[in-house]
Structure 1
Amino acid sequence: MGVLRRFLALCLFAIAAAPAVMAQDLPKLRAAMLASGTVNWEISTIKQSELDRKNGFDLVVQDYADNGATRVAFEGGEADTMVADWIWVAYQRAAGKDYVFIPYSLAVGGLVVKDDSGIKALPDLAGKKIGIAGGPLDKSWLILQAYAKQQYGMDLAGETEQVFGAPPLIFKSALSGETAGAINFWHFLAKMKAKGMHELVSVSDAAAALKLDPDTPLLGYVLKGDYVAAHPEIAKGLYAASRAAKDLLRNDDAVWNGLRDKMNAGDDAEFIALRDGYRAGIPSGKPIDEAAADRFLRLMAELGGEELVGKATSLPDGLFLHLD
């Protein structure tokens, strides 16, 4: 009986250990991520629901303090993927680097003003200050300049005073009234809307007026072409896990309760604004209209020049990774 008990114990141990062994055997995808970035909401959902393992890989998250550090890790081979906008990927691809892009977010933004400002349209900002996060080459700022010129014949940069600064500074200066309007990263805009500001014009509406495709995702996971060639199943798994996480975040309010500590929401209004803002930025999942993306890139090249797009004056072939 002692031998039988030992045999049964060994069997039970093997059964219990099997999931751990299987998890260890899964190929690892090293992801360089901004420690405070909103992408962590999706990453946390992937890990919490084991969507990486269900799609055949183990997502290993490496946190970094800023976007520059994530790029250094990715380019230096310390990480297999990172998040960036596809304009940057086009810049790198045109420079000879075989980087590819998997859509993640529309990164919906806009220009906001205080509810009691009396400002009804962009021309009302003439002679006033606009706070802008991201610098003079911020893509939202460039699109809104093109929109102002098309719709109103207005030189938005020439007829206003710009104040460039970090997102928290732009947030505070707009709420205090130091600036009449603000362009900020989407999650700061969501908080600003919860505190008495509203969108004067959205980048999505401006893009549509400029005959661009508002459904073109701006942010995405970046991989190296040789990595995708060697591990096509991991690239497909990342895309599938990302879409599954988005489905949960779009449809299940309960999932957000577990993310609240990561969201830095000051109150319930901010929490709901952040949740709804994230949902608004989820791409439709439809194939990317590459002709529209080419028009977008050409506009960025015209407005931002080589400093923004490098040699990528038209859409480089193979930039968007097709996985469906």
Structure 2
Amino acid sequence: MRAATALLGAFLAVVASCAAAFSETPTIRIAVLKFGTVNWELNTIKFHQLDAERGFSLDIKGMAGGPAARVALQGGEADMIVADWLWVARQRAAGKDYVFIPYSKSVGGLMIPADSKATTLADLAGSKIGIAGGPLDKSWLILNAYASKMHGIDLKNETEQVFGAPPLIFKTALSGDLDGAINYWHFTAKMEAGGMRKLISTSDAAEALGLDPDMPLLGYVIDGKLLRDNPGLVENFTGASRAAKAILAEDDGEWDRLRDVMKAKSDGQFEALKAGFRAGIPAAGPVDEDSARRMFNLMSELAGEELVGKATELPDGIFVNPGS
């Protein structure tokens, strides 16, 4: 009798252990810039439990910068980051099996002081331009190519460039110490709210160069192994992302809830950031790879191996859009 009871107890323990294992909620660890705009979407996912509804838990890891997030992904400390697909192309060419899920098509532009006499990029010859992101910043490359094609001016040789972190370029531009500034879209929105004006947007310049202005540049990046091993989990994440975007696209009250997270210092900044995020929501469906190929070829021509590494053409398998 005792043996039977012991056997039954052992069996029930095994059943309980198996049940716990099967009921354990999978977690996606995403490493993102601590105060980046992607947090508005991720916050919306968590607040409305869009992850739990889809059977997973989103674990948000705030990082000091993009390089730290990339190290976390490469070191196995994170399952997902946000990066541009050109970085993914470079990594795939180097043998890394990373894939890209579209997140945003928002880009910045070149901002000038409100009292500037400039009407085209050609008017900036001899001036000082602040550029966030360094000499390989995609907006800088596109705007320089546009200036060359449309105005016959080489901005790199005919202007003084000041490179710095986005917040520094933002503050320096607003202080009037720059004749023009190229920054990420949310800083561009804040500069516009602060009285500066946009000389030209990166999307308009891209379109003039034959590129698709609706091409999403930023996306969620994961290891291809995760997609192969657990496609349902990846599809559930993208479903939560789309649901959060739908809320943010329509619900002004949701933005009121997020206002403290956004760090908007004025009503003007708040409205500009809200409008900019909404404008950057990409259309549903797969990425147009022909458009991506045209952009890759231009970026490769402009910056070469320094930007795209060993990639000589757009690698296969970069873009995925589960559930589209």
TM-score (norm 1): 0.91
Contact 1:111/1:181, CA 8 A, preserved across alignment: yes
Contact 1:297/1:313, CA 8 A, preserved across alignment: no
Q: Once the 2 structures are TM-superposed, how far is the Cα of residue 128 of structure 1 from its aligned partner?
A: 0.6
Letter in 2 for 1:280: A
- In structure 1, the partner of 2:4 is none
- 1:127-276 paired onto structure 2 within 5 Å: 127-276=126-275
- In structure 1, the partner of 2:13 is none
SS at match of 1:258: helix
Q: Aligned partners of 1:157, 1:72: CA distance in 2, in Å? A: 31
Q: Aligned partners of 2:130, 2:36: CA distance in 1, in Å? A: 21
Q: Aligned partners of 2:108, 2:54: CA distance in 1, in Å? A: 32
- 1:292-303 paired onto structure 2 within 5 Å: 292-303=291-302
Q: Once the 2 structures are TM-superposed, how far is the Cα of residue 216 of structure 1 from its aligned partner?
A: 1.0
* CA RMSD of superposed structures (Å): 1.5
Q: Where in structure 1 are there 5+ consecutive unaligned residues?
A: 1-20
- In structure 1, the partner of 2:54 is 55
Contact 1:108/1:280, CA 8 A, preserved across alignment: no
- In structure 2, the partner of 1:91 is 90
Q: Aligned partners of 1:192, 1:22: CA distance in 2, in Å? A: 51
Q: Once the 2 structures are TM-superposed, how far is the Cα of residue 25 of structure 1 from its aligned partner?
A: 2.7
SS at match of 1:177: coil
Q: Aligned partners of 1:93, 1:297: CA distance in 2, in Å? A: 14
Contact 1:30/1:80, CA 8 A, preserved across alignment: yes
* 2:307 counterpart of 1:308: yes
* 2:250 counterpart of 1:284: no
Letter in 2 for 1:126: A
Q: Aligned partners of 1:269, 1:170: CA distance in 2, in Å? A: 19
SS at match of 2:304: helix
Q: Aligned partners of 1:283, 1:180: CA distance in 2, in Å? A: 32
Q: Once the 2 structures are TM-superposed, how far is the Cα of residue 286 of structure 1 from its aligned partner?
A: 3.6
- In structure 1, the partner of 2:3 is none
Q: Aligned partners of 2:195, 2:224: CA distance in 1, in Å? A: 45
Contact 2:98/2:223, CA 8 A, preserved across alignment: yes
Tell me: CA distance 1:117–1:227, structure 2 relative to 1, closer, same or farther (3 Å): same
Could you give the per-residue CA deviations for residues 179-216 of structure 1, whole angstroms, max 9, x where no partner exists?
A: 11100111111110001111111111111111111111
Q: Once the 2 structures are TM-superposed, how far is the Cα of residue 313 of structure 1 from its aligned partner?
A: 2.5
SS at match of 1:199: strand
Q: Once the 2 structures are TM-superposed, how far is the Cα of residue 28 of structure 1 from its aligned partner?
A: 1.0
Instruction: State the aligned residue count.
Output: 304
Q: Aligned partners of 1:80, 1:171: CA distance in 2, in Å? A: 31
| Deviant stretches of 4+, over 6 Å | 21-24
Q: Once the 2 structures are TM-superposed, how far is the Cα of residue 22 of structure 1 from its aligned partner?
A: 12
